Amino acid sequence: MTIKVKVLTSFFHKLFGLIDKNHKPPVLLITHFGIHTFFMRYPIDVLLLTRDSEVVDMKHSLKPFSFFFYLPIYSFVVELEDGFIKKNNIKIGDIINLEYQL
């Protein structure tokens, strides 16, 4: 599966992520430990990937004002629209090809 992602690189883009109305899913964050959905108005799906783009964890419908923590050895996080994981039948161990948009 290939997913076109907008890469959020600056501190502020990563901090605000999808809270910023200019950013629409899917977006890629390169960050350690976890993400939050504070101040978001809608749930999102989240994929956690290895450097080789293997899915190692996922979260379905992460609600607003929530946290998603993970092992710091992983750092590639893809935030997706709610329902994307189920709709595309993504499973742990799948390889996701990322097409980057800056």
Does 11 score more than 70 pLDDT? no
What's the pTM value of the predicted model, to 2 decimals? Answer: 0.84
65 in the Ramachandran plot: left (φ > 0), alpha (ψ -120 to 50) or beta? left
Q: Do 27 and 9 contact (CB within 8 A), yes or no?
A: no
User: Tens of pLDDT along 44-68?
Assistant: 999 999 999 999 999 999 999 999 9
Average pLDDT over the chain reads 85
Extract the runs of DSSP E, i.e. beta strands, from 9-96.
27-30, 34-36, 44-49, 55-62, 67-69, 76-81
In order of their start, the domains of the chain are: 2-101 (2.60.120.1140)
Per-residue confidence band for 25, with pLDDT thresholds at 50, 70 and 90: low
Task: With a cut of 70, say whether residue 12 has pLDDT above it.
Answer: no
Higher pLDDT, 37 or 49: 49
In the structure encoding, which two tokens stand for residue 83, read together? 């329902």
Give the residues across from 69 on adjacent strands: 34
What pLDDT sits at residue 19?
55
